[in-house]
Amino acid sequence: MANSLNNAQRTLLELLSEPLTEAELEQLRSMLVQFRYQRLQQMMNAQWEEKGWTQATLDQWYKEHNRTPYRSQQAAKA
């Protein structure tokens, strides 16, 4: 079973074929984390718009108690 790289992985390998200093590597890590954060933020914003969520929705979530009950609590109800 051969593992193939996706287009992003191939592009990064091509761009980073030369060695980096520790400072450059840290700068690259920071840039990649920022890129991922921005992508996740865009996806979350799209979800909020698609679902019609508002600040009121978030406030309601804070008030909810959606914890999974312990097994002993489930057994006591049965």
pLDDT band at 32, cuts 50/70/90? very high
SS3 state at 35: helix
pLDDT at 14 over 70: yes
Predicted pLDDT of residue 15: 87
Q: Is the pTM of this model over 0.75?
A: no
Predicted pLDDT of residue 74: 59
Which of 48, 66, 46 has its CA nearest to residue 56?
48
Distance CA 7, CA 13 (A): 10
Which of 44, 41, 64 has its CA nearest to residue 53?
44
Average pLDDT in the 9-18 region? 90
Predicted pLDDT of residue 1: 43
Distance CA 28, CA 8 (A): 15
